[in-house]
Amino acid sequence: MTDKIDLEKIAKKDHKAKLKLKEKEEAYYPQKIAESGLKTIIRFVKYCPNPSKYMKMNITFAHRDLEMIAEAIANKQTWAVISGLNPSGPLHFGHKAIFDELLWMQKQGADLFIPLTNDESFVVGKTKSLAESRKIAYEQVIPSIIAMGFDPEKTNIFVDSDYPSIYNVAMDLSDKLTLNKALKVFGFNERTDTENPGTLFYRAAVQLAQILLPQYAEFGGKKPTLVPVGIDQHPYILLARDVAERKGFIPPAELITKFLWGFDGKGKMASSRQDSAIFLTDPPEKAERILKRAYTGGSPIARFQKEHGGVPEICPIESIRRYHFEQDNHVAEQCASGAMLCGECKKYGIEEVTDWLSDHQKRLPEARKNIEKFILNKPIKSILE
């Protein structure tokens, strides 16, 4: 009897903690929207003729100036999307979510710019050399991006160290921003002993150069642009909008997607916590192992879960299935009602994830052959002549 009572107690305590986490999670994003002056996506979805799956499911949940992009789409105007990442390891399903959104944008006519910031990886200490992060970019990141199905005609990938124009553009933008403002926005004043001149220049000039690059003459001059970011990068976009204006460009629009939960139950999926992530190059067997032992929104006691239901809002299994394999919220509903327990849900999740990985990895050899078709090498001469 004692055993049974203790288990019941544990299950109750666990459930309560998960509900609390859910509450915190549900308060987090609306609060961020309120603080930042962004708009929720809901109204946009109502009026947009063809919103993305992520928008419809409120995974892409906030924006600024997305109306400008909708107008460009409606008028068949040229527009561009900039979405970079620092190559310090293979892509994981959190990245895939962003790239899925980019695929939707490309279908709406966007020219994609994908800077792979090996200089950032190095100066922030994620890799030991420029060479290491450059190698990761070509060997691990670019093939996975290509294998996701982008159109080479409308996709411009570049590795910072191999696209020297990005530094000329960074220098060209440098005088539009004071050192004071840069130090403040990136919180560098408090970290001058750990940051270096490269991180400051990367954040306050190279990053802006990437964002504003599509508006230089070589790409047809000023145009509507969109930057998908995490909510923590919102201040950088404000800075980019400010610099855009000083430069006579159109301030870029901003689109914000919620983070995917990590499998370790300790926050968002992140390369730095290996147990949190499934990488797109992971062998399916490894993915299966990670999913099997993953943290969930369920209960340690089946009977309890059947009665009280799980907490899908904080479950990495529900989240990977919803982001990547489902078109609606039926998984969450079945979980919350107690109709589907974690074992069954994980079984479906494992099937979906391992199938996807196998397919994706089969496409990698062909993708590797096509790298050159995707690499941007147009020099920016307009600022030098």
What does residue 128 show for φ and ψ, rounded to 5 degrees?
-85, -15
Q: What are the tokens at 139? A: 């060997």
Token reading at 349: 């999740």
Residue 59 DSSP code: S
- Taking the complex as a whole, the smallest distance from the CB of residue 384 to a copy of itself amounts, in Å, to 5
Burial class (CB in 10 A: 0-12, 13-18, 19+), 36: middle
Confirm or reject binding of residue 295 to a copy of itself (CB under 8 A).
no
- The answer to whether 141 contacts a copy of itself (rule: CB under 8 A) is no
How far is the CA of 238 from the CAs of 212, 251, 277, 316, in angstroms?
A: 13, 9, 30, 31
119 touches a copy of itself by CB under 8 A: yes
Tell the smallest beta-carbon distance from residue 54 to a copy of itself (Å): 34
CA 70 to chain centre: 21
Residue 118 vs 155, nearer CB to a copy of itself: 118
Q: Does 190 bind a copy of itself (CB under 8 A)?
A: no
191 interacts with a copy of itself by CB under 8 A = yes
What is the smallest separation between the CB atom of 279 and a copy of itself, expressed in angstroms? 24
Out of 78, 174, 329, 361, point to the residue binding a copy of itself (CB under 8 A). 174
241's CB contacts (< 8 A; 6+ apart) are 251, 252
Stretch that binds a copy of itself, among 40-48, 85-93, 94-102, 193-201 (CB under 8 A): 193-201
Decide: 219 and 49 in contact? Cβ < 8 Å: no
Binding flag, residue 167, a copy of itself (CB under 8 A): yes
Q: In the complex with a copy of itself, which residue's Cβ is closer, 88 or 161?
A: 161
Q: Which strands sit side by side in the sheet containing 111-116, from one edge to the other?
A: 39-40, 60-64, 253-257, 225-229, 80-82, 111-116, 155-159
Q: Does 205 bind a copy of itself (CB under 8 A)?
A: yes
Contact 323, 260 (CB under 8 A): yes
For position 142 contacting a copy of itself by CB under 8 A, the verdict is no
Q: How far apart are CA 108 and CA 60, in angstroms?
A: 16
| Region from 178-186, 252-260, 294-302, 310-318 binding a copy of itself, contact rule CB under 8 A | 178-186
Check binding of 126 to a copy of itself (CB under 8 A). no
Of 28-36, 48-56, 144-152, 157-165: span binding a copy of itself (CB under 8 A): 157-165
Residue 196 or 370 with smaller CB distance to a copy of itself: 196
Listed ranges 85-93, 184-192, 277-285, 287-295: which one lies at the site for a copy of itself (CB under 8 A):
184-192
Separation CA 157–CA 102 (nearest Å): 13
Give dist(CA 307, CA 220) in Å, integer. 61
Place of tokens 């730095």: 272
Interaction residues for a copy of itself, span 311-370 (CB under 8 A):
none
Q: Considering beta carbons, is residue 209 or 317 the nearer one to a copy of itself?
A: 209
Site for a copy of itself contains 113 (CB under 8 A):
no
Residues near a copy of itself (CB under 8 A): 119, 122-123, 125, 129-131, 134, 161-162, 164-165, 167-168, 170-172, 174-180, 182-183, 188, 191-201, 204-205, 383-385
